[in-house]
């Protein structure tokens, strides 16, 4: 059997990298010739987790169809967030925790999505369903994914299942959740060394909503001024990317992981859509979204509703 | 909590009806106010199964959004095969064994698809994962679904998991698989009392393939002449439906459950697509497809490949 590549979304975050590694490991233990890969650069938070648990980052692959016929997706399904040539390969499986959109296959497949906070929470179930033991390093990476996606259990996307899974994985990997979790989040929230183009693409996802193409980028920080002190340059870079990708709207959420609020920088010809969706008035392209930390649960559905009304 | 409707596809078959009933039953046992419904008439085969296990057919509902906000889909996901107002309700869950296409949600959901022969095979796993006992009548219906979808294990869609599940369900329901299965299939294969419009819509599904709208209907029979003796009228009815639904192609497969071959009647402006896909020449709009019994595995992927090339 030829190799099957296992990967998460573009602009990989900790769940995407760690779940690709942990699921490829499970598939290998079940007899599949599987390899985790990544579609982009490893961010600071994820690198911290990989270093901590002494796991090498997956190999970077840009075009998957040059290497394989079949792939497994984790942590995403929308084609515009996947490998650029995703339509040219057979998708054998998907394990994900997002809405389903812009996704299709010609054949039946294994698709496992659950409305939980993190892909790794579902992976823990899959390990158990197959009766496969989780190695401590993989458990540590899966725990890191849950801490990342749930902002240490504070995001509204976090479910009881995620918390339970994290505790189990912490025990297997011998990790103190609070201490390790805060260090890991802080490693990701250090934006001081980031260039402007890095800031707006570090964790950016494109969505099709109604007739519009909307990009939503997000960064975690402990001080929004790390970004807002460079506001004019950030907006200029957003405008360039918007033209380049023919977007209708570009939302950049700067999320404070201490206060759990976000500042949203909004650029594009459909800024009215954003204002209407969140019932706010943009001042100089900026609005505060109190209590908003989750793109998936607090931004995407709200904008989708506005875009399809 | 308000009621959640559980249903399969339009032109319901045995898996769609029985899996809706069996999954609604599981959800009720897990505390959800769930009700199985159907989107169309119960066919002869399904009625035989319902009568045998003394279960009432689900209620017919045409527009789901008039009654509920949330639904669960079984045995399908493509919107054109679902309730006409499917886009107006929230899809909480999908349990299915088909390709994914023309499906999208605004929110994360529970989606469980596996490349097995029948939805009921997946439902058996879900019962077990939740530790819920299956009542004998529900086991009988789930067994009926597997027998129907696998043509008594002879379809290429049938997997080892389906056979194993069927044996387990036969034990729970106290059913002799061979005897009961053949009787049930024969009850569905009796086409003598069917009107022409019934014949072509009994088990018809519409697909979007590339830029084309393609309808594929199928009937099981023990003698293809039951249908082909009325060929001219059948073709006329297909042509009317094609205009009515603005289809590009209408394929009607008459499957002999004894020989496991199909006769295909093909109507539409894209008949060349069919000829190219199956490498056959239509004679008077008719072609024999030896060994073809499965729409899902032997017709849809082949036509999709031709339509998207």
Can you give the pLDDT at residue A151? 93
The tens place of each residue's pLDDT in chain A, 309 residues long, gives 589 999 999 999 999 999 999 999 999 999 999 999 999 999 999 999 999 999 999 999 999 999 999 999 999 999 999 999 999 999 999 999 999 999 999 899 999 999 999 999 999 999 999 999 999 999 999 999 999 999 999 999 999 999 999 999 999 999 999 999 999 999 998 888 889 999 999 999 999 998 999 999 999 998 899 899 999 999 999 999 999 999 999 999 999 988 999 999 999 999 999 999 999 999 999 999 999 999 999 999 999 999 987
CB atoms within 10 A of CB B97: 28
Maximal C-alpha separation, chain A = 57
Buried b (16+ CB within 10 A) or exposed e, A49-74: bbebbebebbeebeebbeebebbbbb
How far is the C-alpha of B169 from the C-alpha of B145, rounded, in Å?
11
- The answer to whether the CB atoms of B104 and A108 lie below 8 A apart is no
Binding site as annotated, residues of B for Mn(2+)? 9, 13, 15, 75, 97, 149
pLDDT at A193: 83
Q: Supply the mean pLDDT for chain B.
A: 95
**Residue B250 and residue B268 in contact, taking contact as beta carbons nearer than 8 Å:** yes
Whole-number pLDDT of residue B190: 85
pLDDT of A309 reads 78
DSSP B65: T
Q: Does A66 touch chain B (CB under 8 A)?
A: no
**A130-164 as b/e, with b when 16 or more CB fall inside 10 Å?**
eeeebbebbbbbbbbbbbbbbbbbebbbbbebbbe
CB atoms A110 and B106 under 8 Å: no
- Measured between its terminal Cα atoms, the distance across chain B in Å is 47
Q: What is the pTM of this model?
A: 0.90
Report the half-sphere exposure of A276 (CA within 13 A, side-chain side). Answer: 11
Cβ neighbours of B283 (radius 10 Å) = 8
pLDDT band at B124 (very low <50, low <70, confident <90, very high): very high
What tokens appear for A140 in the block?
């540590």
Beta pairing partners, A38? A60
pLDDT one-digit tens code per residue, B214-259 = 999 999 998 899 899 999 999 999 999 999 999 999 999 999 988 9
* Per-residue confidence (pLDDT) for residue B192, from 0 to 100: 81
The region, left, alpha or beta by phi > 0 then psi within -120 to 50, assigned to residue A40 is: beta
Burial of A230 (0-12, 13-18, 19+ CB in 10 A): middle
ipTM for this model: 0.88
Domains of chain A: 4-189 (3.90.1640.10), 196-308 (3.10.310.20)
Q: How many Å apart are CA A252 and CA A270, to the nearest integer?
A: 14
Partner-chain residue, chosen from A104, A108, A113, that has the shortest CB–CB distance to B109: A113
pLDDT of residue B33: 97
- pLDDT value of residue A184: 96
Q: Is residue B87 less than 8 Å (CB to CB) from chain A?
A: no
List the Cα angle A6/A11/A13 in 5-degree steps: 75
| A97 labelled ligand-binding | yes
Interchain CB contact of A104 with B (< 8 Å): yes
Q: Could you tell me which chain A residue has the CA closest to the CA of B300?
A: A106
Instruction: Give A104's contacts in chain B (Cβ within 8 Å).
Output: 99-103
Q: Is the pLDDT at B1 greater than 60, yes or no?
A: no
């Amino acid at each position: 059997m030829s190799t099957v590549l296992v990967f998460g979304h573009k602009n990989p975050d900790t769940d995407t990298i760690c779940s690709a590694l942990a699921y490829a490991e499970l598939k290998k233990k079940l007899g599949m010739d599987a390899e985790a890969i990544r579609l982009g650069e490893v961010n600071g938070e994820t690198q911290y987790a990989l270093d901590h648990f002494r796991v090498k980052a997956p190999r970077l692959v840009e075009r998957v169809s040059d290497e394989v016929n079949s792939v497994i997706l984790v942590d995403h399904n929308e084609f515009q967030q996947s490998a650029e040539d995703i339509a040219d390969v057979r998708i054998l499986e998907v394990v994900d925790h997002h809405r389903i959109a812009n996704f299709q296959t010609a054949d039946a497949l294994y698709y496992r999505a659950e409305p939980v906070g993190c892909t790794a929470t579902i992976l823990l179930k899959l390990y158990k369903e197959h009766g496969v033991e989780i190695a401590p390093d993989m458990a540590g990476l899966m725990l890191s994914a849950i801490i990342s996606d749930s902002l240490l259990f504070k995001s509204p996307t976090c479910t009881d299942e995620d918390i339970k899974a994290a505790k189990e994985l912490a025990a297997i990997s011998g990790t103190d959740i609070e201490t390790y979790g805060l260090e890991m989040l802080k490693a990701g929230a250090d934006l001081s060394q980031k260039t402007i183009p890095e800031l707006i693409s570090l964790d950016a996802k494109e969505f099709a909503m109604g007739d519009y193409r909307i990009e939503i980028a997000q960064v975690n920080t402990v001080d929004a001024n790390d970004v807002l002190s460079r506001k004019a340059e950030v907006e200029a870079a957003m405008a360039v990317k918007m033209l380049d990708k023919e977007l209708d709207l570009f939302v950049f959420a700067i999320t404070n992981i201490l206060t759990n609020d976000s500042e949203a920088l909004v650029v594009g010809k459909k800024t009215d859509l954003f204002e209407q969706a969140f019932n706010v008035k943009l001042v100089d392209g900026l609005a505060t979204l109190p209590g908003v930390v989750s793109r998936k649960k607090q931004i995407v559905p709200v904008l989708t509703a506005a875009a399809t009304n």
